[in-house]
Amino acid sequence: MADEARVLIVDDEPDIREIVGLMLEDAGYKVFSLPSGDGLADMVRDNDIDLVILDLGLPGADGLTLTRELKAQSNVGVVILSGRAETTEKIIGLEVGADDYLSKPFEPRELLARVRSVLRRLAAVPVAEDPQPEVTPETQSYSFRDWRFDVLSRTLTDPEGGMVTLSSGEFNLLKALVEHPNRVLSRDQLLDFTHGMDTPAFDRSVDVQVVRLRKKIEPNPQKPEFIKTVRNAGYIFATKVERT
């Protein structure tokens, strides 16, 4: 999804609609706006909207309910822009399906960056790769430098034969890395590989999982040999991986 994406701003504050609208138009987006939630579903459907920037405190409507309804009825992206800064509100917003949440007052450039990030994730298409052998239950395991990672049984064995316990997030991250070795993966790509359409709202969640996984597989997490950072690009699993 390129810069011609269609973005709908739903906010009862005219100044917010104007400021955000001008910023998005300058960035190349087609912009629509509504002062309330009335007619929101019709606007999204009739104008093929790609992403909605939605205020929670709309007159006569609950933004969380609108978010839930939008995500249930379509694949439109939703970025909540709200004066409610409480952590609980953010969690609820994300749980009902919002793709991101930004509190007012906000930095316009940060909002633009988040809009771009959500649109990239929604538009992500798996990159074509060289044909791989068919993966069957018997071959759903990988080895790298005497480590063994079994996807079917969800187990990781270190070179000494010890079992290493992985959280769900660590398992998904390692699976994505071993399936794409020696290839730079951006944070957005890793989010897509590990979460699909249930992508968490914050790109930096990948960094947290990387730090945790490094502590479990790297001889020296401060000088990683496996999961290496590629400045301004993402991460690379820099070792030979074999399917076994």
Whole-number average pLDDT of the chain: 83
Q: What is the pTM of this model?
A: 0.52
pLDDT of residue 84: 65
Same domain membership, residue 64 and residue 161: no
172 and 232 within one domain: yes
Does the pLDDT of residue 97 top 90, yes or no? no
- Last residue within a domain, chosen from 67, 90, 123: 123
Q: Are strands 147-150 and 155-157 parallel, antiparallel or unpaired?
A: antiparallel
Give residue 10's pLDDT band: very low, low, confident or very high (50, 70, 90). Answer: very high
What pLDDT score does 128 carry?
Answer: 39
Percent of the chain at pLDDT > 90 equals: 45
Q: Look at residues 94, 123, 152 and tell me which one is the last residue of a structural domain.
A: 123
116 shares its domain with 151: no
Task: Answer yes or no: is 11 within a domain.
Answer: yes
The reply to whether 90 falls in a domain is yes
Q: Same domain for 114 and 163?
A: no
More confident residue, 194 or 85: 194
User: What is d(CA 145, CA 159) in angstroms, rounded to the nearest whole number?
Assistant: 8
Instruction: Give 151-180 pLDDT, tens digit per residue.
Output: 988 899 999 999 999 888 889 899 999 999
Residue 131 lies in a domain: no
**Is 130 part of a structural domain of the chain?**
no
| pLDDT of 98 | 83
Percent of the chain at pLDDT above 70? 84
Confidence bin at 197 (pLDDT 50/70/90) = very low
Q: Which residue has the tokens 């820099």?
A: 238
CATH number for the domain spanning 49: value is 3.40.50.2300
Q: Are residues 159 and 86 in the same domain?
A: no
| 56 and 92 fall within a common domain | yes
> How many structural domains is the chain composed of?
2
Domain encompassing residue 85 = 6-123
**Residues 116 and 32 both lie in one domain:** yes
- Which of residues 65, 90, 123 is at a domain's end? 123
129 belongs to a structural domain: no
117/222 same-domain check = no
Residues 119, 17 within the same domain: yes
pLDDT tens for residues 24-67?
A: 999 999 999 999 999 999 999 999 999 999 998 888 888 888 88
Q: Is residue 158 part of a domain?
A: yes
* 56-95 residue pLDDT tens: 888 888 888 888 888 888 889 899 887 765 666 667 777 7
Cα–Cα dist 206/114, whole Å: 16
Q: What is the mean pLDDT of residues 118-124?
A: 78
